[in-house]
A and B are shown apart, each in its own frame.
Chain A
Amino acid sequence: MSTVTTPVPAFDQQGTQSDEACVDAAISSFVREFGVTTALHLESCVHCGLCADACHFYLATGDAKYTPIHKLEPLRRAYQREAGSFAPLVRTLGLVKKPSITDLQHWQELLYDSCNMCGALHPGLSNGH
């Protein structure tokens, strides 16, 4: 039996900006974080999925959404589209989907309403690093 309860997400929607403008603002804030370290970590992840086994939320619930690297998915997409080696090509061909407002709301729960210890402990996951 699961011992974890999922809180009702309370989305932070302040101001009068359109969803599109909010997404663009989020992406440009991701892009400001990108540096050599972020690039190295995002590029070197081989998607082995072993980080899930180090996440106590995943171990307790068996829910794959708690996989630490999955929490960086919107950031990864922003990186591939805006800052990766092939960013112009990726954007032009639409190889990587731009995060949507629904995506960001979904990840809000994962990032702020559940555990984020992987971000504090794993050099590759902290704050998008």
Chain B
Amino acid sequence: VTRHCFGYAPHIAFIHRLTGLTWPALPDMVMYLAAGATIVSLLFALLLRLTDPVRKMVSSADDFITWIVIFLPVATGMAVLAEPSAAILVRDHVVYPGPLAVHLLALELMLMLMWLPFGKLMHAFLFPFSRGATGIRLSHRGVKI
């Protein structure tokens, strides 16, 4: 029985090689569909930001840099996809030869470790607290629910 858990097999192999941790991956097709849906959604989000008068007006460079930071890894990941996971995993170099792997990892670490925690992407994790704070503040203004 093949077990499926979380993530893409070559990514897991990469983490396994670095840390020794491993777990069952999801089927390739699920990952391709998820990446495809992500790319299409991001393109629509960008289109909306560029064409809707309100969003166009309120957008700053921050918003576009954030979009690029998210879009780049997904797009480049899809671009280097040429083989099924099983074929990639049997090779010596599991994902990429050394320098390219270091380059990609460094870029991602720089962008994601800086931009994710200190940029507006943290909204994805912090929004429940933000909602809570707004709720408390509104009720402090005399609106009892």
Binding site for B on A (CB under 8 A): 40, 43-49, 52, 58, 64-65, 67, 69-70, 85, 95, 123-124
Contacts and interface: CB of A to CB of B under 8 A. Distances in A.
Nearest to A85: B118
Given A123-B134, A123-B138, A47 B59 contact: yes
B53 A64 contact: yes
User: Interface range on chain B: under 10, 10 to 19, 20 to 34, or 35 or more?
Assistant: 20 to 34
A65 B56 CA distance: 11
A49 B134 contact: no
B57 A64 contact: yes
A46 B34 CA distance: 24
Contact of B60 (A47, A64, A67, A124): A47
Contacts, number: 41
A46 B138 contact: no
A47 B55 contact: yes
Contact of A46 (B57, B120, B133): B120
Interface string B45-68: 000000011111111110100000
A11 B126 CA distance: 41
28 contacts: A40-B133, A43-B120, A44-B120, A44-B123, A44-B126, A44-B130, A46-B63, A47-B55, A47-B58, A47-B59, A47-B60, A49-B52, A49-B54, A49-B58, A52-B54, A58-B54, A64-B54, A64-B56, A69-B58, A70-B54, A70-B57, A70-B58, A85-B118, A95-B61, A123-B134, A123-B137, A123-B141, A124-B134
A21 to B, nearest CB: 28
Interface in B115-135: 118, 120, 123, 126, 130, 133-134
Contacts of A43: 120
A47 B50 CA distance: 12
Nearest to A55: B54
Given A48-B55, A49-B58, 11 more contacts: A44-B123, A44-B130, A46-B120, A47-B63, A58-B54, A64-B54, A67-B57, A67-B58, A70-B54, A70-B58, A95-B61
Minimum-distance CB pairs A-B, first 10: A64-B53, A49-B54, A49-B55, A52-B54, A123-B137, A47-B58, A64-B54, A64-B57, A67-B54, A46-B120
B28 to A, nearest CB: 33
